[in-house]
Amino acid sequence: MPTRSLPTCVDVLIAGAGTAGVPAAIQAARAGASVLLVEKSAMPGGTTTAARVPFPGIFHAWGKQVIAGIGWDLVERCVAECGGKLPDFSTPPAAHWMHQVGVQGPVFAALCDETMQQAGVQVLYHTMLAAVARTGQDWQVTLCTKTGLATVQARILIDCTGDANLAALAGCELIIPEHTQPATLCCLSGGYDPKALDLPAIEAAAAQAVAEGRLHPTDAGWDRTRPRLGSWLNSFGNNANHIHGIQARTSEGRSELEIEARAALLRLYRFLRTQPGLAGLRIQAVAAECGVRETATLVGRDTITAQDYVTGRLWSDPVCHAFYPIDLHTSDGGGLDCRQLQPGVVPSVPRGALLPQQVDNFIVAGRSLSSDRLANSALRVQATSMATGQAAGAMAALACSRDLAPADVPACQLRALLEQHGAIVPPAAP
C-alpha cells in the first residue's frame, strides 16, 4: 500500500527539486509552511545529480565565506559523509574552479531526500505541470501524475525548474533567447590509460573524421573550429562536450537535445574505439539527462545586469550573494567567454530578481532569475542557485504566515529568518 497521498491544499508549491528547489523546500518547511515539491524526474539535486555536475560552487570569495545556509550545509555534510576534505578556502585559488566542492552525486541526492523528509517536505517525483489557474489570492495547479491529472491549491508558487516552466504557465513574462549556451552530456568513460595515448595523433585522426562527417568538433570538446579531445579523454568524459543550437525549455526541445547528445556520444565512441590504446574504451555511466546551461529567464522587478554583477552593486533589498566569473559558453565558435571578477568584488542578488513584474504570490529561484545573459552566465551556478532557493523558501513561508505578498514581507523579517537558518544576507545599499 502506498503511504504517500497527494495533498489537496498547501501553503507553498515548488516545481523542480533541483539545486534551488531543495533548499527552497527545506527552508519553507522549517519555517512552518506546508510544502509540496513536484519533480519531473526520479531524484533530487537537478543538474548537480541528474546531469552529473557534482561540483557546487562557489561559496567563498577572497578568503571568506559569502554563501552559506541550507545548500552549503548539504554540501558540507555530503563531503563529511563520504570521508572527503573541503578545499582550503583561506586564500583565493589559482583557478576559480578549485574552490568548487566535489560531492558524490548519489549520496548528495540521498542526503537531500533525508533532509527534506526530516523537515516535513512532501515530495512528488515523476510528476510534471499541466496547468495553473488563479483562484482569488491562491493558485490551483494541475499536475500530471503517473496515474492522471490531479489538482492542488497553493498560496504561493515557487518556480525552480531552471526553465521557468511554472512561470510561463502562470503568465509571467520571460526572456527566451534565440541563441542559448550549448548543453553538455556528462559521462564516465573507462577502459584506457590517458597517459598512454598519443593525443596529437588521435586529434589528427579526429580532424580527418570531422572532414569526412563521421565526427563533429564539439563531440568531445568546446571548440567548434577543431576537435580537441584531450579534455574529454583526460577527464573520462566529464563536462567536456558541447551540443549547440537547441532550445531545451520544452519537451520537444529536450527530446531533440537528448537524442542529439546521445548521437554525439555514439559518433565519438565509434571513432575513439578505432584509435590506438582505445579499443577497450567503455562508456560506464552517462548522466540521466543532458546538462542544460540556459533556456529562459524571468522579467523581474529588478534585472541584474552584467554591469551590476561585475561592480558588485549594492541593492536596497538584497537576499544573497553570488560569486563566480562571467562564464558564457558561446553559442557560436570558440568555447568559453570567461571574465574573472576584480579582487574584492562580491556581487549580490536583490529580492526583485526573484519576483515577476505583474504576477503576485509567485517567486522564481535558480538559474531563471531575472538577469541579462552575461550576468546570468555567472548567476546560474550552484551555490548561487542554492542561496536564491533558500531566499525564495523563506520569503514564501513568511508571506504565508503573515498573509502578505512576498514583495511585502519586511526586509528585516526576511533577513532574520534567513540568518536564523544559517544564510548570509549581504548589506543593503545605504
Cis amide bond preceding 283, omega within 30:
no
- What is the rounded distance in angstroms from the CA atom of residue 385 to the CA atom of residue 324? 12
- What is the rounded distance in angstroms from the CA atom of residue 419 to the CA atom of residue 382? 20
Using the contact rule CB under 6 A, the part of the chain among 53-61, 75-83, 212-220, 265-273 near ligand FAD is 53-61
40 binds ligand FAD per the rule CB under 6 A: yes
Strand pairing report for 318-321 and 348-350: antiparallel
Query: Cβ 193 to ligand FAD, closest distance in Å?
Result: 25
Residue 39 or 308: the one with the smaller Cβ distance to ligand FAD is: 39
Residue whose C-alpha is closest to residue 274's, from 208, 230, 360:
208
Number of residues that bind ligand FAD (CB under 6 A): 39
Among 129, 187, 341, 423, binds ligand FAD (CB under 6 A): 129
In the shown chain, the binding pattern of residues 269 to 308 toward ligand FAD, with x for contact by CB under 6 A and - for none, equals ----------------------xxx---------------
Total residue length of the chain: 430
18 binds ligand FAD per the rule CB under 6 A: yes
Among 25, 215, 298, 381, binds ligand FAD (CB under 6 A): 381
Query: Cβ 99 to ligand FAD, closest distance in Å?
Result: 10
Burial class (CB in 10 A: 0-12, 13-18, 19+), 187: buried
Residue 46 or 352: the one with the smaller Cβ distance to ligand FAD is: 46
Residue 16 or 350: the one with the smaller Cβ distance to ligand FAD is: 16
For the chain, the first-to-last Cα distance in angstroms comes to 58
55 binds ligand FAD per the rule CB under 6 A: yes
Query: Cβ 162 to ligand FAD, closest distance in Å?
Result: 3
Using the contact rule CB under 6 A, the part of the chain among 106-114, 154-162, 256-264, 421-429 near ligand FAD is 154-162
DSSP letter at 194 equals G
Number of helices followed by number of strands (H, E) in the chain: 11, 17
Query: Sign (positive/negative) of CA torsion 282, 287, 290, 294?
Result: negative
Query: Cβ 377 to ligand FAD, closest distance in Å?
Result: 10
C-alpha cell at 83: 570521508
Dihedrals phi, psi of 38, to nearest 5 degrees: -110, 130
182 binds ligand FAD per the rule CB under 6 A: no
Residue 33 or 160: the one with the smaller Cβ distance to ligand FAD is: 160
- What is the rounded distance in angstroms from the CA atom of residue 406 to the CA atom of residue 33? 14
218 binds ligand FAD per the rule CB under 6 A: no
- What is the rounded distance in angstroms from the CA atom of residue 343 to the CA atom of residue 272? 42
Residue whose C-alpha is closest to residue 282's, from 225, 236, 226:
236
Among 239, 241, 370, 377, binds ligand FAD (CB under 6 A): 239
Using the contact rule CB under 6 A, the part of the chain among 10-18, 132-140, 302-310, 405-413 near ligand FAD is 10-18
CA angle 45, 47, 48 (to 5 degrees): 55
12 binds ligand FAD per the rule CB under 6 A: no
123 binds ligand FAD per the rule CB under 6 A: no
Query: Cβ 20 to ligand FAD, closest distance in Å?
Result: 3
CA 368 to chain centre: 9
Single-letter amino acid, residue 41: S
184 binds ligand FAD per the rule CB under 6 A: yes
Please report which helix (H) or strand (E) contains residue 123, including its range: strand 122-124
Among 19, 180, 371, 390, binds ligand FAD (CB under 6 A): 19
Residue whose C-alpha is closest to residue 59's, from 391, 424, 429:
424
Which residues ranging from 83 to 112 are in contact with ligand FAD (CB under 6 A)?
A: 100
Query: Cβ 381 to ligand FAD, closest distance in Å?
Result: 3
- Residue numbers at the binding site for ligand FAD (CB under 6 A): 15-21, 38-41, 46-48, 51, 53, 55-57, 100, 128-129, 160-163, 165, 184, 239, 291-293, 366-367, 380-383, 385
